[in-house]
Chain A
């Protein structure tokens, strides 16, 4: 569906209109999974009889009528930060949010009931950095209750490239588009620099440094009011940064816009490499839904005295003293962030029940695995990289 019929737009709750218009206007920047979902939702809604549509939307419209919202028209292009602020601080916002969630549950259930596609098996790998002060106690007690440790014939560090290479180079599935095959998010630029990973979409916190610094520079100019924030965000939405990045980000507009939106959505993605990996993974899962996702965490530096109070800042600019790594703090951060990657994927309908999760520590000759019942892991013995990769690629075939 290239555009939303105006009569359908007029029947939607008014809070839906600006966001929907923005999605339709930028449809070419949506990933295939997003386009499929949007089309299926609109198609399902367009087929509903008027009475059913009213039954679905009227309770929300009644809440909206009490919310004293801005006067959005059918052609309003998006919600500004100011608009969002008004919506969020309304006394009716919790009711609004709950009702919106109910509506989308109904829409998605309707869409699923008409779906004819075959579910695809998936894999998510989280790799911790070497050099962490690992405890003797279980690292992920909650995950370990659901999974098990699988013995390897060598430390994972020695098999990462073979394993990742086999995953990235696995045979194509006809129902998975190239951009949906393999994504990787990394703190450093190991995978970015590695040619066998070229077919994957790799986003590196380190390699995106010039873009991050440019964004931070402009964000630091924001005065403390909503209009200034709106203006700065508009400026950042227009900023042409393809010359700052030569890899996949620079070449493909859709990925470039993904990175822009990732940085604009906050959650530490511009400031801390591990937050970039986790929040980036969460957004990739939500938007791209790749069949394979690799997350490679790193050791962050300690915050420096004084300059650490200004978090919207590159602390190296504020304080030229050399960075000092913080392995202890990084371990605490990464353990939870890796678990958040698992939670994001396992709660997503596309991944739930058909995803193998692997958690690896470079120095250890074992990986933690949480997998569905049907995952065909060899029964006993220590696995070589090739065996693990062969099992994984069979799962993904």
Chain B
């Protein structure tokens, strides 16, 4: 493996094999949507008397201004790929959990591009979850940001273990190298050329990334990098639909309850940061709808599936979660106790965007203000 130096970063702009691409042109939807999905979080560690301590921003700052659905059911396969596919299509998906197949029905991205003629640059996915692949958003730009970080760290493990420590400069070198050499593997191959592959845009992005890595909030976790990348996409590209996925709480699979709780608290902090960031952007401030939801809960204590470690059981603890809607669709904040399903979201967001999710099996959520 050839070692790269920071000086080589300058060469990024001239990367001739990266296709130059057009900017976000064509028609734009009437509204903008930011959908944030969180990995598995049980109600007992979030919206419950004992759990709200883990979500001070969601509970204290955002809940009062939101449409809050207290019972949002996942009736499908409670795995990451199938759940997010179901949310985006409005149909319960039963495809390969390892992401080798795209969803079996059109996603919200497809409807936006097909019915409005919007360019792919209007639709983005930025995800922390290692279980997801670019198939999660066919036709959209997908950045597997955690995979980017993982691959960078793995390069260091494989090639530079003699170095005294895994430091920020080394990480930045490797992040750059991964993006340069392996961008297809980390999701930077898109159905059509995207704006971020434009050399000028990419250089600006890398400069921002360098500042972030060296800054006070460097990414010790995948979710911090995901939040950073999502903010850069919003700032530089202003897409109409952005899906962000945080997954640090999935460390629960390894049985470290303290790190699972830390992942929930981090997601709470990052979601709030993202909402504040949207409020600082003129393109989003008044016209954005932001939805925050966990993909599922986790298994109950004492289950044969080893409790909070996993999300496999057919139980309320695993299937029943919550959904928070902020911004344009939530002009009349309320707590909705009627049970709703995760597949109701795609047609409801579709209506906000001015498209009909024709194959969706979910129902429109009446409380959304279109």
Contacts and interface: CB of A to CB of B under 8 A. Distances in A.
A352 interface: no
Contacts of B161: 317-318, 320
Interface stretch (B28-36, B152-160, B227-235): B152-160
Contacts of A267: 253-255, 306, 309-310
Interface residues of A, number: 53
Given A268-B309, A311-B254, A318 B97 contact: no
A313 B97 contact: no
A306 B77 contact: no
Nearest to A346: B302
A272 B302 contact: no
A332 B255 contact: no
Nearest to B310: A267
A103 to B, nearest CB: 15
A88 B146 contact: no
Interface string B51-92: 000000000000000000000000001010010000000001
B255 A272 contact: yes
A278 interface: yes
B222 A309 contact: yes
B221 A275 contact: no
A110 interface: no
B220 A318 contact: no
A332 B257 contact: yes
A266 B314 CA distance: 20
Interface stretch (A8-16, A232-240, A335-343): A335-343
A306 B152 CA distance: 10
Interface string A318-335: 111100001011111100
Nearest to A347: B302
B92 A268 contact: no
Interface stretch (B3-11, B163-171, B281-289): B163-171
Contacts, number: 131
B96 A310 contact: no
A332 B261 CA distance: 10
A304 B150 CA distance: 14
A333 B314 contact: no
A329 B256 contact: yes
A85 B97 contact: yes
A337 B252 CA distance: 12
Interface residues of B, number: 47
A57 B146 CA distance: 45
Interface in B237-263: 251, 253-259, 261
A143 to B, nearest CB: 12
Nearest to A334: B257
B interface SS class: loop
A318 B258 contact: no
A246 interface: no
B257 A336 contact: yes
Contacts of B306: 267, 279, 282, 340
Contact of B153 (A89, A98, A310, A320): A310
A224 interface: yes
A124 B97 CA distance: 38
A225 interface: yes
Contacts of B302: 340, 343, 347
B115 interface: no
A90 interface: yes
B280 interface: no
Contacts of A343: 301-302, 307
A89 B220 contact: no
Contacts of B259: 303, 329
A317 B161 CA distance: 7
A340 B299 CA distance: 12
Which of A90, A272, A319 has the most chain B CB atoms inside 10 A of its CB? A319
9 contacts: A88-B97, A89-B97, A94-B314, A226-B98, A229-B98, A306-B153, A311-B251, A321-B165, A329-B258
Interface of A: 85, 88-91, 93-94, 97-98, 220, 224-226, 229, 266-268, 271-272, 274-275, 278-279, 282, 300, 303-311, 313, 317-321, 326, 328-333, 336-337, 339-340, 343, 347
Interface of B: 77, 79, 82, 92, 94-100, 133, 146, 149-150, 153-154, 156-157, 161, 164-166, 171, 218-222, 251, 253-259, 261, 301-302, 306-310, 312, 314
Given A267-B309, A307-B157, A309-B149, 12 more contacts: A89-B82, A89-B94, A91-B92, A272-B254, A274-B255, A279-B306, A305-B166, A306-B153, A309-B220, A320-B161, A321-B165, A343-B307
